Amino acid sequence: MVRIFIAVIGVVAVCGVGAFVSLGAFPPALVAHDVHKDIPMAAAPAPAPIAAPMGVASALPVAPLAPAH
């Protein structure tokens, strides 16, 4: 019984230390700066593709099952 109690206290202590560390034991990370003034760190995001308007038929990738009459 004593061993179980000590194990539970140990688990609670380890979780408490982890919570303390995750909540701010260390200072926040430094902000990344551009190394060169003329080269940005991230490229501009690509524009979203333009979808076809509703009602426009698109090409099917398979042949129809029966011939059209």
- Number of domains making up the chain: 1
Q: What is the largest CA-CA distance in the chain?
A: 86
Q: Is this prediction's pTM over 0.75?
A: no
The whole-angstrom separation of Cα 27 and Cα 30 is 9
The answer to whether position 59 is within a domain reads no
Question: Which residues constitute the domain of residue 21?
Answer: 1-25
pLDDT at site 23: 76
Predicted confidence at residue 3, as pLDDT, reads: 94
End-to-end CA separation in angstroms for the chain: 84
pLDDT of residue 10: 96
Does 51 fall in a domain? no
* φ, ψ (nearest 5 deg) of residue 23: -95, 5
Q: What was the pLDDT predicted at 38? A: 64
Angstrom distance (rounded) from CA 7 to CA 4 = 5
Q: How far apart are CA 13 and CA 36, in angstroms?
A: 46
Give per-10-residue mean pLDDT for the chain (69 aa): 94 90 71 64 71 64 66
